[in-house]
Structure 1
Amino acid sequence: MRVERTDLDGVLLFLPTPSRDARGLFTRTFDATAARAAGLDPDAFVQDSQSRSRKGTIRGLHGRSGRGEAKLVRCARGAVHDVLVDARPSSPTFGKHIAIRLDDERFAQLYVPPGLLHGFQALTEPADVCYRIDREHDPSEDIAVRYDDPDLGIAWPLPVSVISERDSAAGSWAALRHALPR
């Protein structure tokens, strides 16, 4: 498993090498040794979750206040346009965002450190996204920014087909930036 750094501070991309033959394929979806070598504690992850989304659906941009949460994100079925926004005021990449295609061909897995906002758009019908998270969910720490916030200028590849009421009502990047502890 190869590990690549991204343009956002601390965000890593884990790239397995799927074996393909006449039967189909086999790939490793998690490797504790590779995680350790990249500076992560594989034992820190305490929860696995999965979402299924229809093509065009946007989920996010979500994060956690307080000490945040770290997660490993991968697309187990289909493809998504995955977006991360650095919401860590002390980070050299604060306010910047990246987009990475996650799909069931490359099986890349994205490490999202605490303090980032995460969202994605389903590019296929359906798209299953799996999350390995380092702490239990506490709804009182949920934070969100609207997916179409003009200050972020995120280019989503498809028209939005579905978005939750919660995500539609999310606040602005400017308001979150102002509320973040310095």
Structure 2
Amino acid sequence: MKAVPVPAISGAYLFVPTPHSDERGFFSRTFDAEVVRSVGIDPCAFVQDSVSRSRQGVVRGMHLRSGAGEAKLVRCSSGSVFDVLVDLRPDSPTYGNREFVELSGHTQVSVYIPAGCAHGFQALTDPADISYRIDREHDPSEDVTIAFNDPELEIPWPLPVTAMSDRDRKAPSLAALRSKMGWPE
């Protein structure tokens, strides 16, 4: 397994495994504490593991947490997704940048999303399973959602949206959140 920096988002990494394939299928390490530690991430900081299953076309996001934020290690364990990161950390050298990554069960690549970055994805297959390692316990009062179709974000969702939560559908624009949260432009 190797760690590859995501150039557009400071502190974000792809963790690329080395699957071992044969006639039975494959075996792949999906987490390695030493590799994570080698890029300055505390592997013991993760306190929750979660999973979501989505149908093709479903969009989840764009989500982040207020307060201290929330770092996540995200992997598509089955199927594939179009994954989106947006750097909303005002002091970051990559503030405002976006990155798009395809995650799939075929590659088992994980993406590390630093606290303060918005995250979302669209399921490209039916189903698509996403596994999350999260560094803070969930507190619904800190949930922040940005409109998935915000013209400022210019996210090129690859499929028509088939479903999303009410929270995501009614999410405010980035400009409205910027004003409310005191973020720079």
Q: Shorter chain as normaliser: what TM range?
A: over 0.9
Residue 5 of structure 2 is matched in structure 1 by 5
Q: In the TM superposition, what whole-angstrom CA distance separates every residue of 1:15-71 from its partner, at most 9, and x where no partner exists?
A: 000000001000001100101111111111010000000000000000000000111
Q: Which amino acid in 1 is paired with 2:50?
A: S
**1:155-170 mapped onto 2 (5 Å cutoff):** 155-170=156-171
Q: Distance between the aligned counterparts of 2:29 and 2:178, measured in 1?
A: 38
Identity of aligned residues (%): 56
SS of the residue corresponding to residue 90 of structure 1 reads coil
Shift of 1:143: 0.3
Shift of 1:158: 0.4
Q: Distance between the aligned counterparts of 1:98 and 1:176, measured in 2?
A: 20
Residue 114 of structure 1 is matched in structure 2 by 115
Gaps of 5+ in 2: none
Residue 86 of structure 1 is matched in structure 2 by 87
Q: Distance between the aligned counterparts of 2:12 and 2:98, measured in 1?
A: 11
Q: Which amino acid in 1 is paired with 2:168?
A: D
Aligned length, in residue pairs: 182
Shift of 1:94: 1.2
Q: Distance between the aligned counterparts of 2:94 and 2:149, measured in 1?
A: 20
* Preserved CA contact (<8 Å) 1:86 1:96: yes
* Preserved CA contact (<8 Å) 1:149 1:173: yes
Q: In the TM superposition, what whole-angstrom CA distance separates every residue of 1:94-153 from its partner, at most 9, and x where no partner exists?
A: 112111000011111000110011000000000000000011000000001010001111
SS of the residue corresponding to residue 25 of structure 1 reads strand
Q: Distance between the aligned counterparts of 2:69 and 2:181, measured in 1?
A: 12
* Preserved CA contact (<8 Å) 1:46 1:133: yes
Shift of 1:92: 1.5
Q: Distance between the aligned counterparts of 1:181 and 1:14, measured in 2?
A: 33
Shift of 1:180: 2.9
Q: Which runs of 4+ in 1 moved over 6 A?
A: none
SS of the residue corresponding to residue 94 of structure 2 reads coil
Q: Distance between the aligned counterparts of 2:179 and 2:92, measured in 1?
A: 15
Q: Distance between the aligned counterparts of 2:136 and 2:65, measured in 1?
A: 11
Q: Distance between the aligned counterparts of 1:165 and 1:68, measured in 2?
A: 22
Q: In the TM superposition, what whole-angstrom CA distance separates every residue of 1:150-178 from its partner, at most 9, and x where no partner exists?
A: 11111000000111111000010101122
Q: Which amino acid in 1 is paired with 2:5?
A: R
Gaps of 5+ in 1: none
Q: Which amino acid in 2 is paired with 1:56?
A: G
Shift of 1:181: 4.3
Q: Which amino acid in 1 is paired with 2:32?
A: D
Q: Which amino acid in 2 is paired with 1:5?
A: P
Q: Distance between the aligned counterparts of 2:173 and 2:90, measured in 1?
A: 16
Shift of 1:179: 2.7
